[in-house]
Structure 1
Protein backbone atom coordinates (compact mmCIF):
# COMPACT_ATOMS: atom_id res chain seq x y z
CA UNK A 1 0.00 0.00 0.00
CA UNK A 2 2.89 2.35 0.80
CA UNK A 3 4.35 1.98 -2.69
CA UNK A 4 0.98 2.37 -4.41
CA UNK A 5 0.39 5.56 -2.45
CA UNK A 6 3.85 6.82 -3.37
CA UNK A 7 3.20 6.09 -7.03
CA UNK A 8 -0.10 7.97 -7.01
CA UNK A 9 1.41 10.97 -5.21
CA UNK A 10 4.35 11.10 -7.63
CA UNK A 11 1.95 10.86 -10.58
CA UNK A 12 -0.01 13.84 -9.25
CA UNK A 13 3.21 15.80 -8.69
CA UNK A 14 4.28 15.06 -12.26
CA UNK A 15 0.97 16.28 -13.69
CA UNK A 16 1.21 19.47 -11.62
CA UNK A 17 4.77 19.98 -12.82
CA UNK A 18 3.60 19.71 -16.43
CA UNK A 19 1.25 22.63 -15.86
CA UNK A 20 4.03 24.67 -14.29
CA UNK A 21 6.57 23.79 -16.99
CA UNK A 22 4.07 24.67 -19.71
CA UNK A 23 3.25 27.99 -18.00
CA UNK A 24 6.90 29.00 -17.56
CA UNK A 25 7.95 27.59 -20.94
CA UNK A 26 10.42 25.05 -19.53
CA UNK A 27 10.91 23.19 -22.79
CA UNK A 28 13.54 21.34 -24.77
CA UNK A 29 13.93 22.76 -28.26
CA UNK A 30 15.54 20.34 -30.74
CA UNK A 31 18.62 21.38 -32.69
CA UNK A 32 20.94 19.77 -35.23
CA UNK A 33 22.61 17.76 -32.44
CA UNK A 34 19.39 16.54 -30.80
CA UNK A 35 17.99 13.03 -31.03
CA UNK A 36 14.41 14.34 -31.07
CA UNK A 37 12.55 16.60 -33.49
CA UNK A 38 9.68 18.04 -31.47
CA UNK A 39 9.49 20.60 -28.65
CA UNK A 40 8.99 18.72 -25.38
CA UNK A 41 8.67 19.67 -21.71
CA UNK A 42 11.99 19.47 -19.89
CA UNK A 43 12.72 18.65 -16.25
CA UNK A 44 10.29 15.77 -15.69
CA UNK A 45 13.08 14.04 -13.82
CA UNK A 46 12.40 16.35 -10.90
CA UNK A 47 10.20 13.47 -9.76
CA UNK A 48 13.36 11.74 -8.47
CA UNK A 49 14.00 14.58 -6.02
CA UNK A 50 10.40 14.47 -4.81
CA UNK A 51 10.71 10.73 -4.22
CA UNK A 52 13.89 11.34 -2.20
CA UNK A 53 12.04 14.05 -0.26
CA UNK A 54 9.24 11.65 0.67
CA UNK A 55 11.73 9.07 1.88
CA UNK A 56 13.62 11.71 3.86
CA UNK A 57 10.45 12.93 5.58
CA UNK A 58 9.79 9.41 6.84
CA UNK A 59 13.42 8.67 7.78
CA UNK A 60 14.65 12.10 8.77
CA UNK A 61 16.90 10.82 11.55
CA UNK A 62 19.68 9.38 9.37
CA UNK A 63 19.58 10.89 5.87
CA UNK A 64 20.60 14.51 6.31
CA UNK A 65 23.75 14.37 4.21
CA UNK A 66 22.27 12.38 1.32
CA UNK A 67 19.19 14.57 1.11
CA UNK A 68 21.21 17.77 1.35
CA UNK A 69 23.47 16.52 -1.43
CA UNK A 70 20.69 15.46 -3.80
CA UNK A 71 18.92 18.77 -3.12
CA UNK A 72 22.04 20.73 -4.04
CA UNK A 73 22.61 18.88 -7.33
CA UNK A 74 18.90 19.00 -8.16
CA UNK A 75 18.67 22.76 -7.59
CA UNK A 76 21.71 23.63 -9.68
CA UNK A 77 20.62 21.18 -12.39
CA UNK A 78 17.08 22.56 -12.55
CA UNK A 79 18.53 26.04 -12.77
CA UNK A 80 20.75 24.81 -15.62
CA UNK A 81 17.67 23.37 -17.37
CA UNK A 82 16.07 26.82 -17.29
CA UNK A 83 19.14 28.98 -17.85
CA UNK A 84 22.54 27.56 -18.74
CA UNK A 85 25.19 27.73 -16.01
CA UNK A 86 28.95 27.63 -16.34
CA UNK A 87 30.68 24.29 -15.94
CA UNK A 88 32.63 25.67 -12.99
CA UNK A 89 29.46 26.32 -10.97
CA UNK A 90 27.95 22.94 -11.74
CA UNK A 91 31.14 20.99 -11.00
CA UNK A 92 31.67 22.94 -7.76
CA UNK A 93 28.19 22.02 -6.51
CA UNK A 94 28.71 18.40 -7.57
CA UNK A 95 32.00 18.37 -5.63
CA UNK A 96 30.30 19.75 -2.52
CA UNK A 97 27.40 17.29 -2.72
CA UNK A 98 29.75 14.34 -3.24
CA UNK A 99 31.83 15.52 -0.27
CA UNK A 100 28.73 15.39 1.93
CA UNK A 101 27.94 11.77 1.10
CA UNK A 102 31.59 10.73 1.31
CA UNK A 103 31.66 12.20 4.82
CA UNK A 104 28.38 10.50 5.66
CA UNK A 105 29.69 7.13 4.49
CA UNK A 106 32.99 7.55 6.34
CA UNK A 107 35.02 7.33 3.13
CA UNK A 108 37.60 9.88 4.29
CA UNK A 109 38.50 7.63 7.23
CA UNK A 110 38.42 4.34 5.31
CA UNK A 111 40.26 5.30 2.12
CA UNK A 112 43.77 6.80 1.72
CA UNK A 113 44.18 10.22 0.12
CA UNK A 114 45.02 8.86 -3.34
CA UNK A 115 41.94 6.61 -3.15
CA UNK A 116 39.79 9.57 -2.14
CA UNK A 117 40.99 11.56 -5.15
CA UNK A 118 40.12 8.66 -7.45
CA UNK A 119 36.71 8.35 -5.76
CA UNK A 120 35.98 12.03 -6.47
CA UNK A 121 36.99 11.65 -10.12
CA UNK A 122 34.85 8.54 -10.56
CA UNK A 123 31.82 9.98 -8.75
CA UNK A 124 31.78 13.31 -10.61
CA UNK A 125 32.57 11.49 -13.84
CA UNK A 126 29.68 9.06 -13.38
CA UNK A 127 27.27 11.89 -12.60
CA UNK A 128 28.16 13.61 -15.84
CA UNK A 129 28.19 10.33 -17.77
CA UNK A 130 24.63 9.66 -16.67
CA UNK A 131 23.72 13.13 -17.91
CA UNK A 132 25.50 12.60 -21.25
CA UNK A 133 23.60 9.36 -21.81
CA UNK A 134 20.19 10.93 -21.26
CA UNK A 135 19.35 11.65 -24.88
CA UNK A 136 16.53 9.41 -26.11
CA UNK A 137 13.13 8.32 -24.85
CA UNK A 138 13.26 5.76 -22.07
CA UNK A 139 17.02 5.30 -21.72
CA UNK A 140 17.38 6.97 -18.31
CA UNK A 141 14.27 5.39 -16.81
CA UNK A 142 14.98 1.85 -18.04
CA UNK A 143 18.68 1.93 -17.18
CA UNK A 144 17.87 3.26 -13.70
CA UNK A 145 15.36 0.47 -13.13
CA UNK A 146 17.98 -2.12 -14.02
CA UNK A 147 20.69 -0.59 -11.81
CA UNK A 148 18.37 -0.11 -8.85
CA UNK A 149 16.89 -3.56 -9.35
CA UNK A 150 20.25 -5.33 -9.14
CA UNK A 151 21.27 -3.19 -6.15
CA UNK A 152 18.06 -4.28 -4.43
CA UNK A 153 18.82 -7.92 -5.28
CA UNK A 154 22.33 -7.63 -3.83
CA UNK A 155 20.95 -5.92 -0.73
CA UNK A 156 18.43 -8.70 -0.12
CA UNK A 157 20.41 -11.78 -1.18
CA UNK A 158 24.15 -11.13 -1.06
CA UNK A 159 25.12 -8.25 1.23
CA UNK A 160 22.78 -6.03 3.21
CA UNK A 161 24.08 -2.47 2.96
CA UNK A 162 21.07 -0.14 3.07
CA UNK A 163 17.35 0.13 3.71
CA UNK A 164 15.62 -1.69 0.85
CA UNK A 165 12.79 0.86 0.88
CA UNK A 166 15.33 3.54 -0.01
CA UNK A 167 16.07 1.71 -3.28
CA UNK A 168 12.43 0.98 -4.00
CA UNK A 169 11.51 4.67 -3.79
CA UNK A 170 13.94 5.36 -6.65
CA UNK A 171 12.48 2.49 -8.67
CA UNK A 172 8.92 3.74 -8.24
CA UNK A 173 9.99 7.23 -9.33
CA UNK A 174 11.56 5.64 -12.42
CA UNK A 175 8.32 3.83 -13.25
CA UNK A 176 6.31 7.03 -12.95
CA UNK A 177 8.80 8.88 -15.12
CA UNK A 178 8.78 6.09 -17.71
CA UNK A 179 4.99 6.31 -17.95
CA UNK A 180 5.41 9.78 -19.44
CA UNK A 181 8.78 9.34 -21.14
CA UNK A 182 8.83 5.83 -22.66
CA UNK A 183 6.59 6.74 -25.57
CA UNK A 184 7.05 7.34 -29.28
CA UNK A 185 6.33 11.00 -28.50
CA UNK A 186 7.52 11.61 -24.96
CA UNK A 187 5.41 13.82 -22.73
CA UNK A 188 8.58 15.06 -21.01
CA UNK A 189 12.34 14.62 -20.80
CA UNK A 190 14.29 14.11 -17.57
CA UNK A 191 16.46 17.18 -18.05
CA UNK A 192 19.65 17.68 -16.06
CA UNK A 193 17.63 17.74 -12.85
CA UNK A 194 16.48 14.17 -13.47
CA UNK A 195 19.58 12.49 -14.85
CA UNK A 196 21.95 14.09 -12.34
CA UNK A 197 19.69 13.58 -9.32
CA UNK A 198 19.20 9.87 -9.98
CA UNK A 199 22.89 9.48 -10.82
CA UNK A 200 23.72 10.98 -7.43
CA UNK A 201 21.31 8.52 -5.78
CA UNK A 202 22.93 5.57 -7.57
CA UNK A 203 26.47 6.72 -6.78
CA UNK A 204 25.59 6.99 -3.09
CA UNK A 205 24.35 3.39 -3.08
CA UNK A 206 27.23 1.99 -5.13
CA UNK A 207 29.88 3.71 -2.99
CA UNK A 208 28.17 2.44 0.14
CA UNK A 209 28.15 -1.12 -1.24
CA UNK A 210 31.81 -0.86 -2.27
CA UNK A 211 32.82 0.24 1.23
CA UNK A 212 30.79 -2.51 2.92
CA UNK A 213 32.13 -5.31 0.69
CA UNK A 214 35.59 -3.84 0.05
CA UNK A 215 35.15 -4.65 -3.64
CA UNK A 216 35.08 -2.40 -6.71
CA UNK A 217 33.22 -4.81 -8.96
CA UNK A 218 29.91 -3.08 -8.22
CA UNK A 219 31.08 -0.27 -10.49
CA UNK A 220 30.28 -2.72 -13.28
CA UNK A 221 26.58 -2.10 -12.56
CA UNK A 222 27.27 1.10 -14.54
CA UNK A 223 29.61 -0.48 -17.10
CA UNK A 224 27.50 0.08 -20.23
CA UNK A 225 27.17 3.81 -19.60
CA UNK A 226 30.79 4.01 -18.52
CA UNK A 227 32.24 2.35 -21.63
CA UNK A 228 30.05 4.38 -23.99
CA UNK A 229 30.92 7.66 -22.28
CA UNK A 230 34.69 7.11 -21.93
CA UNK A 231 35.09 5.75 -25.47
CA UNK A 232 33.07 8.63 -26.89
CA UNK A 233 35.20 11.18 -25.03
CA UNK A 234 38.36 9.54 -26.39
CA UNK A 235 36.87 9.57 -29.89
CA UNK A 236 36.00 13.26 -29.62
CA UNK A 237 39.43 14.16 -28.28
CA UNK A 238 40.90 12.33 -31.28
CA UNK A 239 38.69 14.48 -33.52
CA UNK A 240 39.86 17.57 -31.57
CA UNK A 241 36.32 18.46 -30.54
CA UNK A 242 35.24 20.36 -27.44
CA UNK A 243 33.99 17.54 -25.22
CA UNK A 244 31.69 19.93 -23.35
CA UNK A 245 29.68 20.82 -26.46
CA UNK A 246 26.62 18.88 -27.67
CA UNK A 247 27.27 16.10 -30.20
CA UNK A 248 25.87 12.93 -31.75
CA UNK A 249 28.74 10.48 -31.32
CA UNK A 250 27.49 8.20 -28.55
CA UNK A 251 26.62 4.73 -29.79
CA UNK A 252 22.97 5.22 -28.81
CA UNK A 253 22.89 8.44 -30.86
CA UNK A 254 24.34 6.72 -33.92
CA UNK A 255 21.81 3.90 -33.59
CA UNK A 256 18.91 6.34 -33.14
CA UNK A 257 19.85 9.19 -35.46
CA UNK A 258 22.05 7.77 -38.19
CA UNK A 259 20.67 4.21 -38.33
CA UNK A 260 17.08 5.33 -37.66
CA UNK A 261 16.37 2.65 -35.06
CA UNK A 262 13.33 3.45 -32.90
CA UNK A 263 14.44 5.24 -29.72
CA UNK A 264 12.59 2.91 -27.37
CA UNK A 265 14.28 -0.13 -28.92
CA UNK A 266 17.72 1.42 -28.46
CA UNK A 267 16.89 2.23 -24.82
CA UNK A 268 15.69 -1.34 -24.31
CA UNK A 269 18.91 -2.63 -25.91
CA UNK A 270 21.01 -0.68 -23.40
CA UNK A 271 18.90 -1.94 -20.50
CA UNK A 272 19.17 -5.55 -21.66
CA UNK A 273 22.95 -5.36 -22.11
CA UNK A 274 23.38 -3.85 -18.62
CA UNK A 275 21.09 -6.56 -17.22
CA UNK A 276 23.36 -9.23 -18.72
CA UNK A 277 26.46 -7.53 -17.33
CA UNK A 278 24.91 -7.23 -13.87
CA UNK A 279 23.81 -10.88 -13.90
CA UNK A 280 27.37 -11.88 -14.80
CA UNK A 281 28.81 -9.76 -11.99
CA UNK A 282 26.46 -11.24 -9.42
CA UNK A 283 27.08 -14.79 -10.66
CA UNK A 284 30.88 -14.48 -10.54
CA UNK A 285 31.15 -12.42 -7.35
CA UNK A 286 33.82 -13.97 -5.10
CA UNK A 287 34.34 -16.77 -7.66
CA UNK A 288 36.91 -14.99 -9.82
CA UNK A 289 39.37 -12.20 -9.16
CA UNK A 290 37.96 -8.70 -9.45
CA UNK A 291 40.53 -7.73 -12.11
CA UNK A 292 39.58 -10.73 -14.25
CA UNK A 293 35.89 -9.95 -13.88
CA UNK A 294 36.50 -6.39 -15.08
CA UNK A 295 38.21 -7.78 -18.20
CA UNK A 296 35.44 -10.31 -18.82
CA UNK A 297 32.89 -7.48 -18.79
CA UNK A 298 34.74 -4.57 -20.38
CA UNK A 299 36.27 -6.33 -23.42
CA UNK A 300 32.89 -7.45 -24.90
CA UNK A 301 31.45 -3.98 -24.22
CA UNK A 302 34.35 -2.42 -26.11
CA UNK A 303 33.59 -4.72 -29.02
CA UNK A 304 29.93 -3.69 -28.98
CA UNK A 305 30.89 -0.03 -28.88
CA UNK A 306 33.24 -0.51 -31.84
CA UNK A 307 30.18 -1.39 -33.95
CA UNK A 308 29.56 2.36 -34.06
CA UNK A 309 32.44 2.84 -36.49
CA UNK A 310 31.20 -0.01 -38.69
CA UNK A 311 27.72 1.50 -38.79
CA UNK A 312 29.06 4.95 -39.65
CA UNK A 313 31.18 3.58 -42.46
CA UNK A 314 28.40 1.33 -43.74
CA UNK A 315 26.06 4.31 -43.99
CA UNK A 316 28.81 6.45 -45.58
CA UNK A 317 28.65 8.89 -42.68
CA UNK A 318 31.48 11.00 -41.40
CA UNK A 319 33.04 9.97 -38.10
CA UNK A 320 32.77 13.66 -37.21
CA UNK A 321 28.96 13.75 -37.02
Structure 2
Protein backbone atom coordinates (compact mmCIF):
# COMPACT_ATOMS: atom_id res chain seq x y z
CA UNK A 1 0.00 0.00 0.00
CA UNK A 2 2.86 2.34 0.85
CA UNK A 3 4.49 1.91 -2.56
CA UNK A 4 1.16 2.25 -4.39
CA UNK A 5 0.67 5.60 -2.65
CA UNK A 6 4.21 6.62 -3.53
CA UNK A 7 3.70 5.71 -7.20
CA UNK A 8 0.49 7.74 -7.28
CA UNK A 9 2.28 10.75 -5.76
CA UNK A 10 5.03 10.50 -8.38
CA UNK A 11 2.49 10.30 -11.21
CA UNK A 12 0.72 13.41 -9.92
CA UNK A 13 4.06 15.22 -9.58
CA UNK A 14 5.02 14.29 -13.13
CA UNK A 15 1.73 15.47 -14.64
CA UNK A 16 1.96 18.70 -12.63
CA UNK A 17 5.44 19.28 -14.02
CA UNK A 18 4.19 18.72 -17.57
CA UNK A 19 1.69 21.54 -17.09
CA UNK A 20 4.43 23.87 -15.86
CA UNK A 21 6.87 22.85 -18.61
CA UNK A 22 4.20 23.43 -21.25
CA UNK A 23 3.28 26.81 -19.74
CA UNK A 24 6.88 28.06 -19.53
CA UNK A 25 8.03 26.45 -22.80
CA UNK A 26 10.61 24.10 -21.25
CA UNK A 27 11.14 22.04 -24.37
CA UNK A 28 13.86 20.10 -26.17
CA UNK A 29 14.43 21.22 -29.76
CA UNK A 30 16.28 18.74 -32.01
CA UNK A 31 19.84 19.68 -33.02
CA UNK A 32 22.68 18.04 -34.94
CA UNK A 33 23.46 15.75 -31.97
CA UNK A 34 19.86 14.69 -31.38
CA UNK A 35 18.48 11.26 -32.25
CA UNK A 36 14.91 12.62 -32.21
CA UNK A 37 13.07 14.91 -34.59
CA UNK A 38 10.08 16.26 -32.60
CA UNK A 39 9.95 19.10 -30.11
CA UNK A 40 9.41 17.42 -26.72
CA UNK A 41 9.05 18.51 -23.09
CA UNK A 42 12.41 18.60 -21.34
CA UNK A 43 13.24 17.98 -17.69
CA UNK A 44 11.01 14.96 -17.04
CA UNK A 45 13.89 13.62 -14.95
CA UNK A 46 12.85 16.06 -12.25
CA UNK A 47 10.93 13.02 -10.97
CA UNK A 48 14.18 11.73 -9.39
CA UNK A 49 14.85 14.61 -6.97
CA UNK A 50 11.09 14.65 -6.27
CA UNK A 51 11.35 10.96 -5.35
CA UNK A 52 14.06 11.80 -2.84
CA UNK A 53 11.95 14.58 -1.32
CA UNK A 54 9.08 12.11 -0.94
CA UNK A 55 11.55 9.62 0.58
CA UNK A 56 12.45 12.28 3.13
CA UNK A 57 8.78 12.87 3.97
CA UNK A 58 8.20 9.17 4.66
CA UNK A 59 11.51 8.61 6.48
CA UNK A 60 12.05 11.73 8.56
CA UNK A 61 13.57 9.71 11.40
CA UNK A 62 16.52 8.65 9.19
CA UNK A 63 17.23 11.83 7.23
CA UNK A 64 19.01 13.95 9.86
CA UNK A 65 21.34 11.12 10.84
CA UNK A 66 22.01 9.21 7.62
CA UNK A 67 20.91 10.91 4.39
CA UNK A 68 21.33 14.67 4.79
CA UNK A 69 24.66 14.88 2.93
CA UNK A 70 23.42 12.71 0.07
CA UNK A 71 20.23 14.77 -0.16
CA UNK A 72 22.10 18.09 -0.28
CA UNK A 73 24.39 16.76 -3.00
CA UNK A 74 21.52 15.35 -5.04
CA UNK A 75 19.38 18.47 -4.80
CA UNK A 76 22.35 20.72 -5.60
CA UNK A 77 23.33 18.82 -8.74
CA UNK A 78 19.70 18.49 -9.85
CA UNK A 79 19.01 22.19 -9.30
CA UNK A 80 22.01 23.35 -11.31
CA UNK A 81 21.23 20.78 -14.02
CA UNK A 82 17.60 21.90 -14.26
CA UNK A 83 18.70 25.53 -14.57
CA UNK A 84 21.14 24.46 -17.28
CA UNK A 85 18.26 22.71 -19.08
CA UNK A 86 16.42 26.05 -19.21
CA UNK A 87 19.30 28.52 -19.67
CA UNK A 88 22.80 27.42 -20.62
CA UNK A 89 25.28 27.95 -17.78
CA UNK A 90 29.05 28.25 -17.92
CA UNK A 91 31.13 25.13 -17.37
CA UNK A 92 32.79 26.72 -14.33
CA UNK A 93 29.46 27.09 -12.51
CA UNK A 94 28.31 23.57 -13.34
CA UNK A 95 31.63 21.93 -12.45
CA UNK A 96 31.83 23.85 -9.16
CA UNK A 97 28.43 22.52 -8.10
CA UNK A 98 29.34 19.04 -9.32
CA UNK A 99 32.51 19.16 -7.19
CA UNK A 100 30.57 20.12 -4.06
CA UNK A 101 27.92 17.46 -4.75
CA UNK A 102 30.52 14.73 -5.20
CA UNK A 103 32.24 15.84 -1.99
CA UNK A 104 28.92 15.45 -0.14
CA UNK A 105 28.40 12.05 -1.79
CA UNK A 106 31.80 10.79 -0.68
CA UNK A 107 31.10 12.03 2.85
CA UNK A 108 27.79 10.15 2.80
CA UNK A 109 29.42 6.88 1.72
CA UNK A 110 32.21 7.15 4.29
CA UNK A 111 34.91 7.29 1.61
CA UNK A 112 36.81 10.08 3.37
CA UNK A 113 37.23 7.80 6.40
CA UNK A 114 37.65 4.45 4.68
CA UNK A 115 39.97 5.49 1.85
CA UNK A 116 43.46 7.07 2.12
CA UNK A 117 43.62 10.75 1.17
CA UNK A 118 45.62 10.13 -2.01
CA UNK A 119 42.68 8.09 -3.39
CA UNK A 120 40.21 10.98 -2.94
CA UNK A 121 41.18 12.83 -6.18
CA UNK A 122 40.83 9.56 -8.10
CA UNK A 123 37.33 9.07 -6.70
CA UNK A 124 36.38 12.64 -7.65
CA UNK A 125 37.54 12.11 -11.24
CA UNK A 126 35.83 8.70 -11.53
CA UNK A 127 32.50 9.91 -10.15
CA UNK A 128 32.37 13.14 -12.16
CA UNK A 129 33.38 11.16 -15.25
CA UNK A 130 30.63 8.59 -14.62
CA UNK A 131 28.06 11.36 -14.12
CA UNK A 132 29.03 12.82 -17.47
CA UNK A 133 28.87 9.35 -19.04
CA UNK A 134 25.28 9.12 -17.81
CA UNK A 135 24.62 12.46 -19.49
CA UNK A 136 26.31 11.43 -22.77
CA UNK A 137 24.27 8.23 -22.97
CA UNK A 138 20.94 9.99 -22.41
CA UNK A 139 20.15 10.43 -26.09
CA UNK A 140 17.25 8.17 -27.06
CA UNK A 141 13.89 7.20 -25.62
CA UNK A 142 14.09 4.68 -22.80
CA UNK A 143 17.88 4.53 -22.48
CA UNK A 144 18.35 6.33 -19.14
CA UNK A 145 15.24 4.86 -17.53
CA UNK A 146 15.73 1.22 -18.56
CA UNK A 147 19.48 1.12 -17.92
CA UNK A 148 19.06 2.72 -14.49
CA UNK A 149 16.19 0.37 -13.67
CA UNK A 150 18.35 -2.68 -14.42
CA UNK A 151 21.18 -1.34 -12.24
CA UNK A 152 18.85 -0.40 -9.37
CA UNK A 153 17.11 -3.78 -9.41
CA UNK A 154 20.52 -5.48 -9.37
CA UNK A 155 21.48 -3.36 -6.35
CA UNK A 156 18.18 -4.24 -4.65
CA UNK A 157 18.91 -7.95 -5.17
CA UNK A 158 22.43 -7.54 -3.77
CA UNK A 159 21.08 -5.64 -0.76
CA UNK A 160 18.44 -8.29 -0.04
CA UNK A 161 20.25 -11.55 -0.80
CA UNK A 162 24.01 -10.89 -0.84
CA UNK A 163 24.91 -8.13 1.62
CA UNK A 164 22.75 -5.45 3.21
CA UNK A 165 24.48 -2.13 2.58
CA UNK A 166 21.61 0.36 2.86
CA UNK A 167 17.93 0.68 3.70
CA UNK A 168 15.93 -1.09 0.98
CA UNK A 169 13.56 1.88 0.58
CA UNK A 170 16.55 3.97 -0.50
CA UNK A 171 16.72 1.72 -3.58
CA UNK A 172 12.99 1.17 -4.11
CA UNK A 173 12.15 4.89 -4.35
CA UNK A 174 14.35 5.53 -7.43
CA UNK A 175 13.09 2.23 -8.90
CA UNK A 176 9.51 3.52 -8.73
CA UNK A 177 10.63 6.91 -10.08
CA UNK A 178 12.22 5.10 -13.07
CA UNK A 179 8.99 3.20 -13.72
CA UNK A 180 6.93 6.40 -13.64
CA UNK A 181 9.43 8.17 -15.89
CA UNK A 182 9.47 5.25 -18.33
CA UNK A 183 5.68 5.34 -18.56
CA UNK A 184 6.05 8.73 -20.24
CA UNK A 185 9.43 8.21 -21.94
CA UNK A 186 9.48 4.61 -23.18
CA UNK A 187 7.37 5.37 -26.23
CA UNK A 188 7.90 5.77 -29.94
CA UNK A 189 7.08 9.44 -29.40
CA UNK A 190 8.07 10.26 -25.85
CA UNK A 191 5.96 12.59 -23.74
CA UNK A 192 9.15 13.97 -22.14
CA UNK A 193 12.92 13.63 -22.02
CA UNK A 194 14.97 13.33 -18.83
CA UNK A 195 17.11 16.39 -19.50
CA UNK A 196 20.30 17.05 -17.55
CA UNK A 197 18.30 17.10 -14.32
CA UNK A 198 17.26 13.51 -15.01
CA UNK A 199 20.53 12.01 -16.21
CA UNK A 200 22.51 13.76 -13.46
CA UNK A 201 19.87 13.05 -10.81
CA UNK A 202 19.45 9.32 -11.34
CA UNK A 203 23.16 9.00 -12.17
CA UNK A 204 24.06 10.60 -8.83
CA UNK A 205 21.68 8.26 -6.98
CA UNK A 206 22.95 5.11 -8.73
CA UNK A 207 26.60 6.10 -8.27
CA UNK A 208 25.91 6.86 -4.61
CA UNK A 209 24.47 3.38 -4.08
CA UNK A 210 27.35 1.66 -5.90
CA UNK A 211 29.93 3.67 -3.97
CA UNK A 212 28.14 2.84 -0.71
CA UNK A 213 28.19 -0.86 -1.66
CA UNK A 214 31.90 -0.76 -2.48
CA UNK A 215 32.74 1.03 0.76
CA UNK A 216 30.75 -1.52 2.78
CA UNK A 217 32.16 -4.63 1.07
CA UNK A 218 35.55 -3.62 -0.30
CA UNK A 219 34.51 -5.31 -3.57
CA UNK A 220 35.55 -3.04 -6.44
CA UNK A 221 33.92 -5.34 -8.99
CA UNK A 222 30.59 -3.59 -8.39
CA UNK A 223 31.70 -0.60 -10.45
CA UNK A 224 31.06 -2.96 -13.38
CA UNK A 225 27.32 -2.61 -12.74
CA UNK A 226 27.79 0.37 -15.09
CA UNK A 227 30.22 -1.37 -17.44
CA UNK A 228 28.28 -0.89 -20.70
CA UNK A 229 28.02 2.88 -20.21
CA UNK A 230 31.67 3.04 -19.21
CA UNK A 231 32.90 1.00 -22.16
CA UNK A 232 30.86 2.93 -24.71
CA UNK A 233 31.89 6.37 -23.46
CA UNK A 234 35.60 5.53 -23.07
CA UNK A 235 35.86 3.90 -26.51
CA UNK A 236 33.99 6.78 -28.15
CA UNK A 237 36.30 9.34 -26.53
CA UNK A 238 39.35 7.37 -27.71
CA UNK A 239 37.90 7.23 -31.23
CA UNK A 240 37.33 11.01 -31.28
CA UNK A 241 40.85 11.68 -30.01
CA UNK A 242 42.29 9.48 -32.78
CA UNK A 243 40.17 11.42 -35.30
CA UNK A 244 41.50 14.68 -33.78
CA UNK A 245 38.00 15.88 -32.93
CA UNK A 246 37.16 18.18 -30.04
CA UNK A 247 35.83 15.74 -27.42
CA UNK A 248 33.91 18.55 -25.71
CA UNK A 249 31.76 19.31 -28.77
CA UNK A 250 28.40 17.61 -29.41
CA UNK A 251 28.59 14.58 -31.70
CA UNK A 252 26.73 11.52 -32.97
CA UNK A 253 29.47 8.88 -32.78
CA UNK A 254 28.06 6.70 -30.00
CA UNK A 255 27.01 3.26 -31.22
CA UNK A 256 23.43 3.78 -30.08
CA UNK A 257 23.32 7.03 -32.07
CA UNK A 258 24.55 5.28 -35.20
CA UNK A 259 21.88 2.60 -34.84
CA UNK A 260 19.16 5.21 -34.23
CA UNK A 261 20.23 7.80 -36.83
CA UNK A 262 21.76 5.77 -39.66
CA UNK A 263 20.10 2.36 -39.26
CA UNK A 264 16.78 3.92 -38.17
CA UNK A 265 16.31 1.19 -35.59
CA UNK A 266 13.63 1.85 -32.97
CA UNK A 267 14.87 3.71 -29.89
CA UNK A 268 12.92 1.27 -27.74
CA UNK A 269 14.71 -1.75 -29.24
CA UNK A 270 18.14 -0.16 -28.83
CA UNK A 271 17.48 0.86 -25.22
CA UNK A 272 16.13 -2.61 -24.42
CA UNK A 273 19.21 -4.32 -25.88
CA UNK A 274 21.57 -2.10 -23.85
CA UNK A 275 19.60 -2.84 -20.68
CA UNK A 276 19.46 -6.60 -21.34
CA UNK A 277 23.21 -6.81 -22.02
CA UNK A 278 23.94 -4.96 -18.78
CA UNK A 279 21.51 -7.24 -16.93
CA UNK A 280 23.32 -10.35 -18.20
CA UNK A 281 26.63 -8.84 -17.12
CA UNK A 282 25.18 -8.05 -13.69
CA UNK A 283 23.95 -11.62 -13.19
CA UNK A 284 27.41 -12.96 -13.99
CA UNK A 285 29.11 -10.25 -11.91
CA UNK A 286 27.03 -10.77 -8.76
CA UNK A 287 27.53 -14.53 -8.64
CA UNK A 288 31.09 -14.73 -9.99
CA UNK A 289 33.86 -15.98 -7.71
CA UNK A 290 36.63 -15.05 -10.17
CA UNK A 291 39.24 -12.44 -9.21
CA UNK A 292 38.58 -8.89 -10.40
CA UNK A 293 41.10 -9.00 -13.27
CA UNK A 294 39.46 -12.16 -14.65
CA UNK A 295 35.96 -10.67 -14.36
CA UNK A 296 37.13 -7.59 -16.29
CA UNK A 297 38.60 -9.74 -19.06
CA UNK A 298 35.54 -11.99 -19.26
CA UNK A 299 33.22 -8.97 -19.53
CA UNK A 300 35.18 -6.61 -21.75
CA UNK A 301 36.83 -8.91 -24.28
CA UNK A 302 33.56 -10.19 -25.82
CA UNK A 303 31.49 -7.02 -25.31
CA UNK A 304 34.32 -4.73 -26.43
CA UNK A 305 34.99 -6.89 -29.47
CA UNK A 306 31.30 -6.93 -30.38
CA UNK A 307 31.06 -3.18 -29.88
CA UNK A 308 34.06 -2.42 -32.09
CA UNK A 309 32.89 -4.88 -34.76
CA UNK A 310 29.40 -3.39 -34.94
CA UNK A 311 30.75 0.13 -35.04
CA UNK A 312 33.31 -0.66 -37.75
CA UNK A 313 30.61 -2.26 -39.93
CA UNK A 314 28.26 0.71 -39.49
CA UNK A 315 30.98 3.23 -40.28
CA UNK A 316 31.99 1.25 -43.37
CA UNK A 317 28.38 0.88 -44.52
CA UNK A 318 27.60 4.59 -44.18
CA UNK A 319 31.11 5.98 -44.97
CA UNK A 320 31.37 7.68 -41.58
1:316 deviates by 2.8
Counterpart residue number, 1:14: 14
Distance 1:233 1:158 in 2: 35
Does residue 1:51 correspond to 2:51, yes or no? yes
Does residue 1:308 correspond to 2:281, yes or no? no
Counterpart residue number, 2:213: 209
Paired residues for 1:92-171 under 5 Å: 92-171=96-175
Distance 1:237 1:156 in 2: 42
Counterpart residue number, 2:184: 180
1:145 deviates by 0.6
Distance 1:298 1:116 in 2: 26
Counterpart residue number, 1:35: 35
Does residue 1:291 correspond to 2:293, yes or no? yes
Distance 2:278 2:118 in 1: 29
Please give the secondary structure, in 2, of the residue aligned with 1:245: coil
1:259 deviates by 1.1
Distance 1:271 1:239 in 2: 29
Q: Which residues of structure 2 form unaligned runs of 5+?
A: none
Runs (4+) of structure 1 moved beyond 3 Å? none
Counterpart residue number, 2:279: 275
Distance 2:297 2:250 in 1: 31
Please give the secondary structure, in 1, of the residue aligned with 2:33: coil
Distance 1:128 1:74 in 2: 13
1:105 deviates by 2.1
- The answer on whether the counterparts of 2:154 and 2:282 sit within 8 Å (CA) in structure 1 is yes
1:31 deviates by 1.5
Counterpart residue number, 2:70: 66
TM-score using structure 1 length: 0.96
Cα deviation, 1:157-208, whole Å, max 9, x if unaligned, reads 1110000111000000000000000000000000000010000001110011
Does residue 1:86 correspond to 2:90, yes or no? yes
Q: Which moved more, 1:215-224 or 1:104-113?
A: 104-113
Q: Which residues of structure 1 form unaligned runs of 5+?
A: none
Report how many residues are paired.
Answer: 315
